[in-house]
Structure 1
Amino acid sequence: MRILSGDMGMYWTVLSQAGGETTRPTFWRIGHVGEAVFYGLSAMAIALFLYGVYHRFATYAKGSEDPTERLSDLPGRVVSAAKLVASNEKQFDRDLVAGLMHTFILWGFLTLLIGTTILAIDMDIWTKALGQESFFVGDFYLAYSLVMDGMGLLFVVGVGVALYRRYWVRNERLWGKHTSAEDGLFVWALFLLGVGGYVTEGIRILGTGFPDFETVSFVGWFVADVFQLAGVNADAAASAYPIVWWSHSILALAFIAALPYGKPFHMISSYANLVTRDEDAGRRLPKVPEDASPEEIGPSEIEDFTWKQLLDHDACTKCGRCSSVCPAKASGRPLDPRDVILDLKNYREDLESGDREEVDIVADGGTSVIDAETMESCMSCMACMDACPVDIEHVTQFTEMNRRLTESGQMNKNVEDAVMNVFQKGNTFGDPDRKRPDWTEELDFEVPDAREESVEYLWYVGDYPSYDERNQHVARSLAKVFEEAGVDYGILYEDEQNDGNDIRRVGEEGLFEMVAEDNIEAFESCDYDKIVCTDPHSYNTFSNEYDQFGFENADSVYHYTQVVEDLVNRGALGLSGTELDDTVTYHDPCHLGRYNGEFEAPREVVRATGVTLDEMPRNRSDSFCCGGGGGGLWMDFDEEPKPSEERLREALEDTDAGHGVDRFVVACPMCMTMYEDGRKTGGFEDDIEVTDVTELLVEAIEAKGGAAGSVGETSAAAD
């Protein structure tokens, strides 16, 4: 089909009556010279786009080899990433409005992109190259126009909400030290592209005399009505159309050309990042190559980052979700996960442009890109990674920078003391191995020795339940639960050593490998079916990391709440679910919940005691760290408030029960230590009690008059 035109003073006439076709003019009033100029500019924009994308990916190739297989089952990865992008499920996490906003923008943008591609195929391939009759007519055109107008409206609404949240509400997480004019230009460019498309369409509809079938373009029709009400007639619209069309077209082509060179590139890099993501990132850290020299451990220069980590840096959208959930940032520590990623990106770009000299990637003070105290502040809670919509692997990079600090002798003094204790004594307390089983002496039964007899469950007790007075009560409570239920279990006594999970996360990879190998040897000397851990940190590293050193039973490792849940469900403890009547709230430990997805087992055990469970506002994968992970338990920070204090405040003020909450229930020895400290420093000692799941369970057993005897070593007794 071709639509006839007169001279520049005449209108295009589009007929929907007999003898005419239902469609719209293309290059109306632009002329053949204008059409040629447009194609030339389009070719330039596409060339700049392709070169920019090539340059970006060529930069990633300069990074080091990634130790994780990133491209296995590539078709499956592509489909999985497409599902994440299409559903926007990560954007909905913690922020419904942002999720809807991004969904409108994404699907609106994709629809407009697909629609423009369809038009180009019809004009440039189907009709011109292949000589076929245009398919951009009739019912196809009407359906096309309706969908494009509807989805384009969602796009404009979504971008409008983005502008409102950025400039009117001034959403705090959208602003930071890396916020620049680029961020505003990006959003305004999208808004002008969306609105400009409707202005162009409205002017065309008005200038062509409101063809009846164009009512399907309901937004464009509305815009045409607005112009007409404002006094614009058809002649004026026709005269203005080339100016409006060129303004919109040049903006669109400039956007395409600039896309690889700034923030818009996240539309490509984010998807690539999702395709190459590691599902085990954070919970499973990569090994240091056996032939690596100390100078090669951890990044010293930008090329030491892997190609995937460089892609991480480019994928960051500055959305601030990681910053908004980071407990270190919330407590005033010098860590902002977004800033670390963007500092590294900017450093790389400054080196490429010659605007900066090479400096250390991470060091204690000086001119390094990242300061040592910033990395020491990380609690390895993985909240940043859970919140990130593009799956940036912060914790892995932070740990590798801690490895560089360790290898260069810049480890925090308190952490160094704990590490030396593990090296010399096998535990972070520095106490003799022979004292590890001393907690069993106050029990009125003997804890079996797994080194001397076959057991179903090899119980790895851990450092804090073995040496810390408060957590010894937890260990004894769990032993009594096992005895009550007739569990076939045993412990390693003095042959047990520190699990190494947090040793690894502060950067001491060599010591981690040593204790891992020693523990594996101790495990292999026993005859057992399963391992049960008191500490979620032990559970994590045994399950996800020890197989790197030859451990073959990683699939048979359990946290104690998982084992106890099974005992409760089987009726092995004889609970009726009415024994206790307290109101409690439960804190999800990072290494049990967010790391390993176990949320229900501890809750089932808590409910089985009869208490009323009132959930924390931030729970399950959104839980807020106690502050003890990543070596935080061994360090002193000037914090306000401490993460543990903030969490206890939340329990007493933000839960539905408020000050009616009697107990703050935990399932992690480190959490127990941090929250007992937070009770004192935050002034909550008279307001709430910190109780482990096992202590609550023992109280319930005692209340129902079970065979556990004097089981009441509760947190109250510990006080």
Structure 2
Amino acid sequence: MTILQAATRETYWTISPTGKAVFYFLAAVAILIFLYGAYERVTRYTKGSEDPIPRLDDLPGRILDATKMVGSNEKLFDRDVYAGIMHTFILWGFLVLLIATSILAFDEYGWQLLLGESFWVGDFYLSYQFVVDLFGLLFVVGLGMAIWRRYRNRDGRVWGKHTDLDDDFLVWSLFFLGVGGFLAQALSIIGQPQRANEIVSFVGYGMAQAMMAAGVTPELAATAYWWTWWSHAIVALAFIAWIPYGKPLHILSSFANVVAKDEKAGTRLPNVPADLEETNAESIDDFTWKELLDQDACTKCGRCSSVCPAKASGRPLDPRDVILDLKTYRESLDGDNGGEEVPIIADGGVIQPETMESCMACMACMDACPVEIEHLSSFTRMNRQITDEGMVDPSMQDVFGNVMQRGNTFGNQQSARADWADELEFDLEDAREEEVEYLWYVGDYPSFDDRNKKVARALARIFEAADVEFGILFEDEKFDGNDIRRVGEEFLYLELAGHHVETFEECDFEKIVCTDPHAYNTMKNEYPEVDFAAFADDPVMPFEYDEQWNADGAVDVLHWTQVAEELVADGRLDLSGAELDYTVTYHDPCHLGRMNDEYEAPREVIRATGADLHEMPRNRNDSYCCGGGGGGLWLDIDEETKPSEERLREALEDTAAGDTVEKFVVACPMCTTMYEDGRKTGGFEEEIEIVDVAELLIEALEANGTLEIGEESGEAAA
């Protein structure tokens, strides 16, 4: 037999048969404690309400997708390479060490019992030792990186009101396991002569050489090994038993949360049942089992908090704290913990109403979360409870009243809805009477707000120049409902959705085009989800429509920039000689970009004008909210720095072009309104101009001779 064939080691070196029996007993106890804790967790989830979104359909595919995402750590690398490397080392080190331990157990308690010999010898053993040392080293290095980040300073994003000893114990117990394993290996190499030249165990071998140089003898190694082995074993078994009860639970709950994720979470909110006796957030068990799982999946990493514009502007919202406050409250009520029941959302409750009013519904928190926590579902549930109990801010109550009585958020007469078009040199088609290619949903702000009326007129002239067959709904167009739904007014949203789909059914068109990304999002993603039949017989609801609208996606719902990109590409808008001499930057609207992955259409239109486009550091899915979403447009909130002000500062100071940026380009009426306000309050009026993509495009067409210069655009160009 060669040296390679004989290579192996004694698994329980210096451990007596009694010691092995004690170890087996402790291992059985640890596993039973783990299983009981896991059972309790799963049982607790079943007490939550039923989730209206299919979460476990195509389970094999979901598991495969989750394995790819978790295994690659792709979301952890996003925006934070250090954290991505750190977690990759820890994750794969942990998994390989777990697999290695399982292989060893299978050899001893399976293979050897069946075949009477071990496969853990020779080349396999040596390869095993090398891989274990390599990934064990990565494991320890990753934990060292985590310790450095955690304790280098105590004011980083990993620290917060819910930071406790649980977090310390997790990182230090794993670090102790990693280092302790190498220490036991080094002592074993010193004390077992057959391992003297086992250089494949390069970490342990190196440590053994250093220890022998320091005077450690085989006899001392044998004594120290016993203590080291037992210390390592007890910490490992305690860790296993602790998993369902503390922060290590995220090892399981995070993966489960990714498996159960909704690909459209946030872009479509869960519907409410027609049963008016249903409650939204009166108790913790009103939350769905997925929302309870969200709470357990949170690792306190603070990524959501670090990107939240509400938190950055000084509003009383920290997305991480909301999720963990709910978890802490739930755990205080479970079992015999003696917790006192309080309202979920109320002054003095688990969550304060002003906390939820601060949310801009921008989904930055969800986009940043590495474990797919769906913050907006829980937040909307609490907003609905606020609305049900009449705790809504007075300014939002006024908006609700305007929509109920007038059909729009301004409270203007619906008959004046198309007055913005009076200054056009052509008449608009009535989509209720004429067959059109595009049914254009103009929206509230382009219809009634003076600044945004200019955008509506520019867009109408663009469609006319491209010979697009389009029409509008005139007074039958009402507010789309997207933002009041996110504030919690679900039934008013249902009325609006029912009115619109009933109107759509009476029109003859091919596609719907929206000016506002908010309307685009809700008509594309949420109207088709509404179970209109459940509400059609309700005498309160002003519609009789009882079908699922556009369930098969036969009607394309588009944002106008998507249409414009196609018109430019097809040559229907002649920009062949367009050379607008502007240095510009572009702001991605949350509802167009982050929610619907449309980033390129507006940029292609801007580039077609010849303008020199420079990206801000936070762009595309990392874009920073203007502050207008989730009702922010109508709320007067005390802020340290308005999100719109911070964004304009970023455009002028952090963009590569710096203060040479002349125009801040937007593609959303709400963004136009918020940034025009931020331009004034932030003192940027002399430094930068707010323009919509449509205004930039119409100016390029005019400069190119495709259109005659209109009064408004001529003034803008001057």
TM norm structure 1: 0.95
Q: 1:69-119: CA deviations, max 9, x gaps? A: 111111111111111111111111111110111111100100000000000
Distance, in Å, in 1 between the alignment partners of 2:464 and 2:68 is 48
Q: 1:574-633: CA deviations, max 9, x gaps? A: 112642121110000000000000000000000000011100101111111000000000
1:403 shift after superposition: 0.4
**Residues 298 and 400, structure 1, Cα contact 8 Å, conserved in 2:** yes
Name stretches of at least 5 consecutive residues in structure 2 with no aligned partner: 533-547
**Residues 477 and 711, structure 1, Cα contact 8 Å, conserved in 2:** no
Distance, in Å, in 1 between the alignment partners of 2:98 and 2:656 is 47
How many residue pairs were aligned?
A: 698
Could you say which residue in structure 1 is the equivalent of 2:486?
505
Could you say which residue in structure 2 is the equivalent of 1:552?
550
**Residues 699 and 712, structure 1, Cα contact 8 Å, conserved in 2:** no
- Residue 92 of structure 2 is aligned with which of 107, 127, 137? 107
Distance, in Å, in 2 between the alignment partners of 1:575 and 1:717 is 19
- The answer to whether residue 441 in structure 2 is matched with residue 456 in structure 1 is no
- The answer to whether residue 270 in structure 2 is matched with residue 316 in structure 1 is no
Could you say which residue in structure 2 is the equivalent of 1:26?
11
Distance, in Å, in 2 between the alignment partners of 1:79 and 1:410 is 44
Distance, in Å, in 2 between the alignment partners of 1:209 and 1:167 is 41
Structure 2 counterpart of 1:360, which letter? P
Q: 1:621-666: CA deviations, max 9, x gaps? A: 1111000000000001110110000000000000101101111100
1:175 shift after superposition: 0.5
**Residues 698 and 712, structure 1, Cα contact 8 Å, conserved in 2:** no
Structure 2 counterpart of 1:24, which letter? R
Distance, in Å, in 2 between the alignment partners of 1:133 and 1:217 is 23
- The answer to whether residue 140 in structure 2 is matched with residue 141 in structure 1 is no
Could you say which residue in structure 2 is the equivalent of 1:201?
185
**What is the DSSP-based 3-state SS (H/G/I as helix, E as strand, rest coil) of the residue aligned with 1:631?**
coil
- The answer to whether residue 432 in structure 2 is matched with residue 433 in structure 1 is no
1:355 shift after superposition: 3.2
**What is the DSSP-based 3-state SS (H/G/I as helix, E as strand, rest coil) of the residue aligned with 2:187?**
helix
Structure 1 counterpart of 2:580, which letter? L
1:691 shift after superposition: 0.6
Could you say which residue in structure 2 is the equivalent of 1:333?
315
Distance, in Å, in 1 between the alignment partners of 2:196 and 2:446 is 79
**Residues 577 and 704, structure 2, Cα contact 8 Å, conserved in 1:** no
Could you say which residue in structure 2 is the equivalent of 1:351?
333
1:507 shift after superposition: 0.4
**What is the DSSP-based 3-state SS (H/G/I as helix, E as strand, rest coil) of the residue aligned with 1:108?**
helix
Could you say which residue in structure 2 is the equivalent of 1:267?
251
**Residues 363 and 595, structure 2, Cα contact 8 Å, conserved in 1:** yes
**What is the DSSP-based 3-state SS (H/G/I as helix, E as strand, rest coil) of the residue aligned with 1:709?**
coil
- Residue 280 of structure 1 is aligned with which of 242, 264, 281? 264
**Residues 696 and 714, structure 1, Cα contact 8 Å, conserved in 2:** no
Range with bigger deviation, 410-419 or 230-239? 230-239
**What is the DSSP-based 3-state SS (H/G/I as helix, E as strand, rest coil) of the residue aligned with 2:631?**
helix
Structure 1 counterpart of 2:399, which letter? A
**Residues 577 and 608, structure 1, Cα contact 8 Å, conserved in 2:** no
Structure 2 counterpart of 1:426, which letter? G
**Residues 22 and 213, structure 1, Cα contact 8 Å, conserved in 2:** no
1:132 shift after superposition: 3.0
**What is the DSSP-based 3-state SS (H/G/I as helix, E as strand, rest coil) of the residue aligned with 1:452?**
coil
Q: Judging changes above 3 Å, is the alpha-carbon distance between structure 1 residues 16 and 184 closer, same or farther for their aligned structure 2 residues? A: farther
Structure 1 counterpart of 2:414, which letter? D
- The answer to whether residue 633 in structure 2 is matched with residue 633 in structure 1 is yes
Matches within 5 A, 1:90-489: 90-128=75-113, 130-170=114-154, 172-209=156-193, 211=195, 213-293=197-277, 296-352=278-334, 353-363=336-346, 365=347, 367-489=348-470
Q: Judging changes above 3 Å, is the alpha-carbon distance between structure 1 residues 566 and 494 closer, same or farther for their aligned structure 2 residues? A: same
Distance, in Å, in 1 between the alignment partners of 2:52 and 2:475 is 35
**Residues 281 and 393, structure 1, Cα contact 8 Å, conserved in 2:** yes
Range with bigger deviation, 446-455 or 425-434? 446-455
**Residues 9 and 195, structure 2, Cα contact 8 Å, conserved in 1:** no
Percentage identity across paired residues of the two chains = 62
1:564 shift after superposition: 0.1
Could you say which residue in structure 1 is the equivalent of 2:499?
518
Could you say which residue in structure 1 is the equivalent of 2:572?
572
1:447 shift after superposition: 1.6
1:172 shift after superposition: 1.3
Distance, in Å, in 1 between the alignment partners of 2:392 and 2:713 is 37
Q: 1:121-150: CA deviations, max 9, x gaps? A: 10112213x243110011111111111110
What RMSD, in angstroms, separates the aligned Cα atoms of the two structures? 1.5
- The answer to whether residue 522 in structure 2 is matched with residue 541 in structure 1 is yes
**Residues 75 and 370, structure 2, Cα contact 8 Å, conserved in 1:** yes
Distance, in Å, in 2 between the alignment partners of 1:325 and 1:599 is 19
Q: Judging changes above 3 Å, is the alpha-carbon distance between structure 1 residues 716 and 263 closer, same or farther for their aligned structure 2 residues? A: farther
Structure 1 counterpart of 2:235, which letter? L
Q: 1:286-328: CA deviations, max 9, x gaps? A: 11111132xx331100111111111110000000000000000
1:213 shift after superposition: 4.9
1:210 shift after superposition: 6.8
Structure 1 counterpart of 2:494, which letter? E
1:503 shift after superposition: 1.2
Range with bigger deviation, 203-212 or 369-378? 203-212
Q: 1:214-272: CA deviations, max 9, x gaps? A: 11010111111121122212221122110111111111111111111100000000011
Distance, in Å, in 2 between the alignment partners of 1:508 and 1:255 is 46
**What is the DSSP-based 3-state SS (H/G/I as helix, E as strand, rest coil) of the residue aligned with 1:359?**
coil
Distance, in Å, in 2 between the alignment partners of 1:165 and 1:634 is 40
Q: 1:474-503: CA deviations, max 9, x gaps? A: 000000111111111111111100000001
Could you say which residue in structure 2 is the equivalent of 1:609?
609
1:520 shift after superposition: 1.0
Could you say which residue in structure 2 is the equivalent of 1:12?
none
1:521 shift after superposition: 1.5
Distance, in Å, in 2 between the alignment partners of 1:172 and 1:442 is 54
**Residues 288 and 297, structure 1, Cα contact 8 Å, conserved in 2:** no
Q: 1:542-579: CA deviations, max 9, x gaps? A: 00111124322755100000000001111111112642
Distance, in Å, in 1 between the alignment partners of 2:676 and 2:321 is 32
**Residues 578 and 701, structure 2, Cα contact 8 Å, conserved in 1:** no
**Residues 206 and 233, structure 1, Cα contact 8 Å, conserved in 2:** yes
Range with bigger deviation, 548-557 or 519-528? 548-557
Q: After TM superposition, which residue ranges in structure 1, 4 or more long, deviate above 3 angstroms?
A: 15-18, 714-719
Distance, in Å, in 2 between the alignment partners of 1:157 and 1:270 is 23
Structure 2 counterpart of 1:601, which letter? A
